Structures are given as structure tokens and as C-alpha cells.
Amino acid sequence: MNAKRFNKLIQKIHTNQSAFDELYHFYFPNIVMLITKKYRLNNVADDIAQEFFVKLLSMDIKRYIDNPTAWVYTSCDNLAKDYIKREQRYNLAYVREDKSHKDEIVDELIWGDYLERLNMLDEEVRKIIDLHLLQGYSLKEVAEIMNLNHNTVRQKYLRAKAKVQRK
């Protein structure tokens, strides 16, 4: 679908059922395929695609979208990532009831068999990992909690991740 047609349909979806149907039938199968292949979320790919179209109906898009396919897929990609984060938080909260030692939780759930590698990191970096991955804070929030610069926290996190994966 070209950008001109897409933008024309977007302006009509609130008042014209056929405009919505055309967008839905054009993008829905591709969104499901993208989410299924990229994230292996076979059981919820339909739900994520539906969520995109529900959000699309609630939007009032005033600007012209130059690359509609990229815009749609990026939006759906973000919805899939949000779903994965929600699931991780739910699973971590469930495991947190059974385990008392946070480092064990991080090692088992986030880093898998990287236990020895994670233990090589200094305490500050382990706290960044704990707050970001286990507690679910963004790196910006972690920086505020630890009274550090956001870029410092981001660099330490990325270096630690690379170090753990490299060994």
C-alpha cells in the first residue's frame, strides 16, 4: 500500500468502516507473521495485532506518514516488546515469592547459564542489572535512583551485557 492511499484511509477510519477494513485486511496477516517470526509469540500474535488496530482507532493522526509500512511494523514491534516486558515482570514477581536471593533470580531468569560471568561484575553494575532487569526500571529511572548520569548507567549496563555474553 502506498503512502498516499494509507494516509487517505487513516483520515477516514473513524467514519468509514470500509477504510478500516481495507487497512485491517492489508496489514493484519503481515503483522501476525512479523510477530510470530521475530518474537515467536505464536499464541498472542493475533492479540497484539488486534491491540494495534484498537489503538489505531483511538488515534487522531494529523501528520502525513511517509513510510506507512515501517510505521505500522514499528508500532507493532513496540507492542510486542511491551508484551514481553509485562510477561517478564509477571514471571519475575511469581518467582520472587519462591526465591529470596535476588542475584539467583537474575542469574537464572535473565542470564541463564552466565552465573560465573555475572559474579565477575562489580556491585554497582550488579545493582544496575538488578534494578533494570529484575525490578523493571528503565535505565533513566535507574540513573535517578542511583544518582548517576543516564549515559553512565547505560554504558555500564551495555558493557556488562557485552562482557557477560563475550566470555
Q: Among 87, 121, 156, where does a domain finish? A: 87
Domain that holds residue 36: 3-87
Q: What is the pLDDT along the chain (167 residues), one digit of tens a residue?
A: 788 888 888 888 888 888 888 988 888 888 888 888 887 777 888 888 888 888 888 887 778 888 888 888 888 888 888 887 777 665 544 444 444 444 444 444 444 445 556 667 788 887 887 777 767 788 888 898 888 899 999 998 888 877 766 65
CATH number of the domain that residue 139 is part of = 1.10.10.10
CB atoms within 10 A of CB 17: 9
Contact by Cβ (8 Å): 32, 39: no
Distance CA 76, CA 140 (A): 24
In a domain, 95, yes or no: no
For 100, phi then psi, to 5°, come to -105, -25
- Stated as kind and residue range, the H or E segment containing 44 is none
Q: Indicate if 109 and 80 belong to the same structural domain.
A: no
Q: Indicate if 67 and 126 belong to the same structural domain.
A: no
In a domain, 92, yes or no: no
Q: Which residues, in sequence order, are CB contacts of 91 under 8 Å at separation 6+?
A: 109
Q: Indicate if 105 and 72 belong to the same structural domain.
A: no
